[in-house]
Amino acid sequence: MPDRQVTRIRKPGTRGRGSPVAPFLDWFAVAQTVNFPVPQQRQAAAVQTITLPASPAAFANAGWPDIAPYYEGLATAPLTRDNVEDWLKSWSQLEELIDEAGTVAMIAYTGDTADAEKEKAHLRFSTEIFPQAHEQGVRLSKRLLHLDYTRTGLETTIQRFRTDAEIFREENVALFAELEELSAQYQKIVGGLTAQWEGETKTIPQLQPYLKERDRQVRERAWRVGNEAYLARRDELAALFDKMFVARTKVAGNAGFPNYQEYAFKSKHRFDYTPADCERFHEAVETTVVPAVARQLEYRRERLGLDRVRPWDLGVELERVESLKPFDDVGVFVDRAKAIFRRVDPKLGTEFALMASDGLLDLESRKGKAPGGYCTKLSFRGKPFIFMNAVGVADDVNTLVHEAGHSFHDFAAHSQPLIWQRSPGHEAAELASMSMELLASPYLQKPDGYYTADEARSAQIEHLEDILFSLPHIASVDAFQSWIYTSGDGHEAAARDRAWLEIRSRFERGIDWSGLEQERVARWYRQLHIFEYPFYYIEYGIAQMGALQVWRHSLADQATAVKHYREALALGGTVGLPEIYQAAGARLVFDATTMGELVTLVENRLTELRAG
């Protein structure tokens, strides 16, 4: 079990597999020295506004003073509508070079956290270079906005730049720094939680395997000690959240918004849906998913021979007694993955094989590696990188397939010429990864994949169950955050706990929580997004609905579904969310009718799979 008590790497553009139910491991990042091939030189802009180094290697040892002059050059160069495209190209290339240099440093550090030099290089980028580069980027974006220039393919970039400029307030900079500090405190408290287990001190994630135990008493005990660890720090965590609430409310007020929710929608560039749409999503979950989950729980109750389902009965495997062991060697892990992605689409298979041959996969668990997993991109050379800690369990396969979905997105979106055109929001990023989980699921079976027919069947069942169970949790977390920032009572710790219980009982039915009120409250304190990434959660629900539509299409016509999937990814961030989803053959779903259809599809498939 990896030790989670490491510094979490926070780098924009690094996404991880975010199972919304499990703790969000993905951004716990940290890797061996990876031998990259020497990047090839990129074709320079026709007329360079500034002269740039030929490769990110030039910035490997750079400090901010080495980089600042390039921004200064772009900030002071003459800028007119006649040369704006060359200027943009130069700026974009500068961003690519810095981004890739910083990413290479992060990859090196996460692969080898004990190396002080690698840590220093990573920190130089994350704490010195990136924040200042970001500030300079805002300065340059203002020049562009001032020019009032736009064109096809650049509209969404300009819209994001304009929004960022509109909501920027100098007086909020200190508040963001304070929020960073408060987030670090949360991380420290939660990362340091331990529990006593059979005479040993264990971290909370180390208790996870016991929640799957067949022996009900064992899993109950593990469940209880895990929650007790949080409950013992509840007052401290509540006080910490009080401070976050105050700081966020101030941020919103300074920027002229009546509450933090409205600010968050703007700052997260949610141009295509509103808080009212999210409320419709919650209602749709309540009417379609909640009853479906209750049916699954009833099935579980019967299978386990219980009189009622208690919260510690949720982790135990129904389909098999032995855990899946998909591979015992990382070479096999990679080779089978190549075959699986080839089956999904030959082009995707080629891309994944290229990652393997180019040293862009660091998969096996090793001493000194940071825990968790992530996919990041090397912006200059236009290739992704996947990091994880595989130990040969089913979840490793799930993680790799998910992260590979992000990688295929990075490959496809790199066809967009400018760096800002390549990154859509999380709603589209997770559409890529969650769709791949479903698109790859028919091929997990041997000879291409890892499993016997029976094992593949149970892996699929678990995946589909996870999808259903995650949606009420997503709705709870989103509805709760909305309540916190708009009810007028969110500043009060006791009121928050009461509101959570009320919201939770709306979305979570069929589990007997009697006598466990405090433990039920503890759940929200475990959700790091609520503390550290406010309002970042509904994206998973939106993307899951999109992925289910892509999957539905693939069941009828696999080749066309994958073709549309790839076309959508290639759009990068050049169009709005509805257009990206449309290209993928899907749409944004907030309504109960469509959600109900998709839930029925999942339930029917579960019934089929269980029938064998």
Residue type, 88: L
Instruction: Give 430 or 465: the residue with its C-beta nearer to Zn ion.
Output: 430
Residue closer to Zn ion by CB (options 247, 436) is 436
Distance CA 438, CA 584 (A): 14
Pick 290 or 344: Cβ nearer Zn ion? 344
What is the crossing angle of helices 517-525 and 216-231, to 10°?
60
- Amino acid 217 reads Q
Q: Nearer Cβ to Zn ion, position 310 or 426?
A: 426
Please say which residue, 93 or 441, places its beta carbon nearer to Zn ion: 441
Cα 359 to Cα 33, 243, 338, 353, 384: the distances in Å are 10, 44, 14, 10, 10
Residue nearest to Zn ion (CB): 433
- Residue 552 to residue 546: CA distance in whole angstroms: 10
Closest approach of Cβ 223 to Zn ion, in Å?
A: 27
| C-alpha torsion sign, points 416, 419, 421, 424 | positive
Q: Cβ of residue 573: shortest distance to Zn ion, in angstroms?
A: 16
Tokens of 23: 């703790």
What value, to the nearest 5°, has the Cα angle with vertex 365 and ends 454 and 119? 150
Between 8 and 15, CB nearer to Zn ion = 15
Nearer to Zn ion, 251 or 547 (CB): 547
How far is it between the farthest Cα atoms of the chain? 76
Instruction: Name the 3-class secondary structure at 612.
Output: coil
Per this entry, what is the length of the chain? 612
94 contacts 62 by C-beta, under 8 angstroms: no
Which tokens belong to 232? 């013992």
CB of residue 24 to Zn ion, shortest distance in Å: 10
Q: Put the strands of the sheet holding 361-364 in their side by side order.
A: 361-364, 383-390, 374-378
> Smallest gap, in angstroms, from Cβ of residue 501 to Zn ion?
30
> Measuring CA to CA, which residue among 80, 115, 77, 74 is closest to residue 92?
74
Please, what is the minimum distance in Å from the beta carbon of residue 530 to Zn ion? 19
- Token readout for 48 is 């360079």
Minimum gap (Å) between residue 311 Cβ and Zn ion? 26
Distance CA(571)–CA(414), nearest Å, equals 9
Nearest distance from residue 373's CB to Zn ion, in Å? 10
In the complex, minimum distance from the CB of residue 16 to Zn ion, in angstroms, rounded to a whole number: 6
Helix (H) or strand (E) holding 376: strand 374-378
Give the nearer residue to Zn ion in terms of CB position, either 16 or 326: 16
As given in the structure block, the two tokens for residue 453 are: 């027919």
Identify which of residues 17 and 473 has a Cβ nearer to Zn ion in the complex.
Answer: 17
Contacts with 272 (C-beta within 8 Å, 6 or more apart), sequence order = 576, 577, 578, 588
State in angstroms the smallest separation of the CB of 337 from Zn ion: 17
Q: How far apart are CA 250 and CA 259, in angstroms?
A: 9
DSSP states along 163-212: HHHHH--TTHHHHHHHHHHHHHHHHHHHHT-EEEETTEEEEHHHHGGGGG
CB half-sphere exposure, 409, CA atoms < 13 A: 34
- Tell me the closest approach of the beta carbon of residue 8 to Zn ion, in angstroms: 16
The residue (of 88 and 474) whose beta carbon lies closer to Zn ion is: 474
Between 451 and 536, whose beta carbon lies closer to Zn ion? Answer: 536
In the bound complex, what is the minimum distance in angstroms from residue 11's beta carbon to Zn ion?
14
Spatial separation of the C-alpha atoms in residues 115 and 118, rounded to whole Å: 5
Nearest residue (CB) to Zn ion, 90 versus 433? 433
Distance (Å) of CA 371 to CA 122, 325, 329: 16, 20, 19
Tokens 């259809």 sit on residue: 597
**In the complex, which residues of this chain contact Zn ion (CB under 5 A)?**
15, 17, 433
For Zn ion, the closer of residues 172 and 433 by Cβ is 433
Contact (CB, 8 A) for 109 and 121: yes
Nearest to Zn ion of 374, 469 (CB atom): 374
DSSP string for residues in 385-404: EEEEEE-SSHHHHHHHHHHH
**Paired strand residues for 376:** 385
In angstroms, what is the minimal distance from the CB of 26 to Zn ion?
7
Q: 109 near 71, Cβ under 8 Å?
A: no
CB of 434 to Zn ion, least distance (A): 8
- Least Å from the CB of residue 432 to Zn ion: 8
What is the smallest separation between the CB atom of 374 and Zn ion, expressed in angstroms?
A: 9
- Of the two residues 372 and 576, which places its CB atom closer to Zn ion in the complex? 372
Burial 361-388 (b: 16+ CB within 10 A, else e): bbbbeeeebbbbbbbbbbbbbbbbbbbb
